[in-house]
Amino acid sequence: MASISHFTPCSTNVVASESHDLCVIGFKPGENLCFQGQAAICALQGSFTLLGHTLSSPNKKFTGNEPVHFYPAFSPKAYSLLMIESTPYDKRGYRDTPSPQPSAEIKKDIVKITKQLLQHGPFETIVAIKGIQWCGIDGITSVVPMFKGLFKLFNPNRTEDLAGLTPSKRRKVIQNHPELLEYEFKVPGFYPILGVPNTPWMRTPESWVDGVQRLINGAHVPADAINSVPIIVVCGTKGVGKSTFTRFLSNSLLNEYKDIAYLECDIGQSEFTPNGLVSLNLVSNPVFGPPFTHLQKPYRSYFIGNTTPRDDPGYYMACIRELVNVYRQELACKINSNGEEIKAPLVINTQGWVKNMGLELLFDLLEYVAPTHIFQFHSPNVPYRNIPTDLPSKFVDEMETPREAKIILLSSVDDITPKYHASDLRTLNLISYLYMNPLAYQDAGHKSVWDGSKGWWDFKYPLIARPPYKIGWKHLQVSVLFDDVPYSQLLYALNSSVVALTGPIGEVADKPQDDEENGNESENDEGPMTPPAYSTDSPDPTLVACHGLAILRSISPQDQEFHILTPLPAAFLESGVTGIVKGNLDLPVWPMIEGDVLNHVMGRREGGFEKVESEVQVPYLTYEANEGVGNAVRKVRRNIMRRRLNGEGA
């Protein structure tokens, strides 16, 4: 079977650095390279495309004086593998972003090995590949063993020299032992794929490319549209490639616009935040990888508290409407310091629930947003899963101006069986979020921590071994969604759960001073405990936003404190958090059984669980099975059809 990569590495098109985890690759016209792993990628000469975005060098030919802009790219086996494709030079692909430049020593090394490569040219495109294993994302497999080998091809144990082989023999050896390429490219964590992998690779359907090109070339935006920028809705049922397409679309738009706004309405498979939130994100750099590799602080977000809006559709739509208003007022059109008008299109990723109430919610969203474009997924193989073809296309925007949206049909990618279940990918997202470096989470694009001095994720210490933050509940508003919890059972319900940290919108409001600061005597620690203020209502989206998620690790009733684990900075917790909201998000079991406990569970330690439990504190877990009615949370399955609807009954 033919290789998926049209590229044969050799000493004339790959030159590796002898002093850094770095190499340069020369591509002829029409060549491409699929890879697994992680790396930073830069265009030194010409242009190449990656997941819909074109990256270009400042000049068509390499001179050695150009600025060097690296972008992180993550290609794990749980998702479709990325493909680097050489294309004719396109000046629009150069982004003069304020990203940090590599050190003078690394840049000197890049110039040196690129000049060596050019001796074997000419090349249409020259790409620099730099190792970023220091970012720390590899450590996620130590927490969730089911994702073992997520970025690694497999453990290489051969160090053959390929230099003396003929091209045909060389390709055959590499196809049988692809781990050899890591040694040849000398970029740890970067695994080029020359054969046919077991993991699907990114094959962009023609309808996707044509549809995005129609959007960009035609610029189907009425002159009377709000701020004259595209407002794009992507809709379709589950498992058709909707999230991947919105990533492809966003990257393509970033070749035309400096920034784009991304409205996440799919709370079960979020792109830039943990699941359970609707969010508005301002995206300035292309994203090369799945959601758990580029989580960032949103521009504004609200906590829905579940992976489906079924339990509270009214609040779900109220939050979306508020986010649309924020976009129209603050992001659609801005004036920069030079007096230039900066426009940002809006990309809206909708949920995959498109039956009954889910379809009504989609119609409500379309009516309120009044989009200029609707990308609708259509599957000829499973037509019963398609959205009705009579999707509304005529709207009236908030300026009372009639508008007709352009509907573009997209072919679905339903011939690929996912390796992992959606709930597993949600776990991956949450684990990635909880272990993020607070500085990296606050800084979109990780610009301030790009030098490698500190990782973007820290898996060195288990969550159960980390000291939690303490938050007093005297001035907190606690809410529990979807359940009517008795006041006397509130602390039991909150303990060991995933909660949202909420606060006022805009400037942080001053909290009331404690009694001691007011000159009054503090309450006696041994006096009666005052429970926190409690409500079963969802926070008002016009007043309160969600700033992040946390694990409520433990509670101290005597001190009236919550102990939480979160990637948010400690300084922000002091001033920005005024409420805690509990929804129905599940707490993954993996963070609670790290270290010695995990070693035993995975069969790497002798002795029973009782022995591990006696040596290591394992909060909230026991090896004994509960018995009796009410020993577990009741799960309702709505995907089982009645017998008469399934053709089995009369």
- Residue 542 Rama label (left phi>0; alpha psi -120 to 50; beta): alpha
Measured CA to CA, the distance from residue 113 to residue 153 in angstroms comes to 26
Residues 20 and 168 in one domain: yes
The whole-number pLDDT of residue 644 equals 44
pLDDT of residue 317: 96
At 33 the pLDDT is 92
Q: What sign does the dihedral 571-574-579-580 (CA atoms) show?
A: positive
Same domain (yes/no): 37, 132: yes
Residue of 433, 423, 354, 402 lying closest to 586 (CA atoms):
423
Residues 134 and 273 in one domain: no
Same domain, 494 and 552: yes
| Contact yes or no for 362/392 (Cβ under 8 A) | no
Domain limits for position 68: 14-192
- The reported pTM is 0.85
Residues 79 and 170 both lie in one domain: yes
**Residue 240: what are its φ and ψ, rounded to 5°?**
-110, 0
Of 221, 224, 223, nearest to 256 by C-alpha is 221
Asked if 599 and 605 count as a contact pair (C-beta separation under 8 A), the reply is yes
Residue 338 lies in a domain: yes
Residues 68 and 120 occupy one common structural domain: yes
Which residues lie below 8 Å from residue 404, measured CB to CB, with a gap of 6+? 393, 394, 395
180 within domain boundaries: yes
In a domain, 259, yes or no: yes
Give the three-class secondary structure for 394: strand
pLDDT, residue 245, reads 92
> For the chain, how many structural domains are there in total?
3
- Determine if the peptide bond prior to 178 is cis (ω within 30°): no
- CA-to-CA distance for 571 and 505, rounded, in angstroms? 17
- The rounded distance, in Å, linking the Cα atoms of 337 and 349 is 31
Q: Within this chain, do residues 258 and 122 fall inside the same structural domain, yes or no?
A: no
598 lies in a domain?
A: no
Which residues are CB-contacts of 418 (< 8 A; sequence separation ≥ 6)?
A: 239
Task: Read off the CATH number of the domain in which 263 is found.
Answer: 3.40.50.300
Do 239 and 374 sit in the same domain of this protein? yes
* Residue bearing tokens 């946390």: 550
Q: Is 435 inside any structural domain? A: no
Instruction: State the 10-residue block means of pLDDT for the chain, 650 residues long.
Output: 78 89 94 92 94 91 87 89 93 72 86 93 92 89 84 54 57 60 74 73 83 78 58 89 92 92 94 94 92 92 94 94 95 80 92 88 91 86 73 60 79 69 89 86 56 77 85 90 88 92 74 41 51 87 94 91 91 87 86 58 45 51 58 55 44
Helix (H, G, I), strand (E, B) or coil at 449: helix
How much is the pLDDT for 509? 46
For residue 407, what pLDDT is reported? 86
- Spatial separation of the C-alpha atoms in residues 248 and 622, rounded to whole Å: 45
**Boundary (domain end) residue, out of 127, 157, 192:** 192
Domain boundary among 192, 225, 252: 192
φ, ψ at 192 (rounded to 5°): -65, 145
